[in-house]
Amino acid sequence: MRLDQKPQAPSLGAKPYLSPLAAWALAFGCSVGWGAFVMPGTTFLPIAGPLGSVLGLLIGAFVMFVFGFCYHCLMKRYPDEGGIYTYSKKHWAVTTAFCARGCCF
């Protein structure tokens, strides 16, 4: 765009880019994500106390670190697209790869 041109206003006929299913999935994901932040204060803290809550969150963080490290090693070894599906397809059957991918979601 040149400096002497005025920016054009966006058109009023904006089209939605989320389907109803995608909008529902986004709302459901937000609800689950919100629960991940609210539950430690409303459920874990009164039952387990501060030390138990911190310990539980640290154990969960460690498990997620292990999963992340496994995926890191998988991505380094198999750099092509597909992730767990590509790994399973190369080492087992296509049906096993499909089931492994489905279990990850």
pLDDT in tens, 46-91: 888 889 888 888 898 898 888 888 878 877 777 776 667 777 777 7
Is residue 31 included in any domain, yes or no? yes
Q: How many domains does the chain have?
A: 1
Is residue 17 included in any domain, yes or no? no
Residues 6+ apart with CB under 8 A from 58: none
pLDDT score for 7: 55
Q: How far apart are CA 97 and CA 95, in angstroms?
A: 5
pLDDT in tens, 4-44: 555 555 555 556 677 778 888 888 888 777 777 777 778 87
Q: How far apart are CA 19 and CA 27, in angstroms?
A: 12
Range of the domain at 35: 23-104
